[in-house]
């Protein structure tokens, strides 16, 4: 079975944008699983994503207040078609990230770690074989040419077709 993933992070609504763009909502509608790596800022975006997404795996970020933290974990772990995924907002500095994440998640059988915080897309693999993905931000391009989200496909327990998708701000 093939499962389409949408990876989001750092939406920051309404701080960075008044709303999410139509590109984001079309991607939500096309996805089998939506993953959000924190920094929602408002509860309304969580409410709408919970209603609209077929399945939502999400965490809170450093800019999320008590209401969001009451509803979301700091770290989420989920299985998608045999792929074991963890989601967290922060992973620290880029330098040494792969080794730190191997140390933090070794023994948990994690195949994919989705994270946010930097607003900068990231795609790497740790020495232990765990894939690290950061979708960037669909509302705040922070030192990047465009805002972004990420899509991927889980097929037979493996991850393929990882794509960074440019997003025009709403």
Say if residue 165's pLDDT is above 90: yes
Q: What is the pLDDT of residue 96?
A: 96
DSSP state of 117: S
Sheet harboring 56-58: ordered strands across? 56-58, 33-36, 2-8, 147-155, 158-167
Question: Structurally, how many domains does the chain consist of?
Answer: 1
111 is in which domain, residue-wise? 2-167
Q: In this predicted model, which residue has the larger pLDDT, 80 or 170?
A: 80
Q: What is the pLDDT of residue 170?
A: 65
Regarding pTM above 0.85, the answer is: yes
Residue 89 near residue 38 (C-beta atoms within 8 A) = yes
Residue 166 makes CB contacts below 8 A (sequence gap 6+) with: 146, 147, 148
- CATH of residue 72: 3.60.21.10
Q: What is the pLDDT of residue 80?
A: 97
Q: Each residue of 29-87: pLDDT tens digit? A: 999 999 999 999 999 999 999 999 999 999 999 999 999 999 999 999 999 999 999 99
């Amino acid at each position: 079975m093939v499962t389409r993933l949408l990876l989001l992070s750092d939406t920051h609504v309404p701080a960075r944008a008044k709303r999410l763009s139509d590109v984001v909502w079309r991607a939500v509608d096309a996805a089998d699983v939506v993953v959000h790596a924190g920094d929602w800022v408002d509860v309304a975006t969580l409410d709408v994503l919970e209603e609209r997404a077929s399945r939502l795996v999400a965490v809170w970020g450093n800019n999320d207040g008590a209401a969001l933290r009451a509803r979301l974990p700091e770290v989420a772990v989920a299985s998608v078609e045999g792929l074991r995924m963890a989601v967290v907002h922060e992973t620290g500095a880029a330098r040494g990230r792969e080794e730190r994440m191997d140390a933090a998640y070794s023994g948990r059988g994690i195949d994919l770690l989705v994270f946010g915080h930097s607003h900068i897309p990231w795609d790497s693999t740790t020495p232990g074989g765990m894939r690290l993905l950061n979708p960037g931000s669909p509302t705040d391009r922070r030192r990047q040419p465009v805002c972004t989200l990420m899509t991927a496909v889980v097929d037979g327990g493996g991850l393929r077709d990882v794509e960074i998708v440019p997003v025009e701000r709403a």
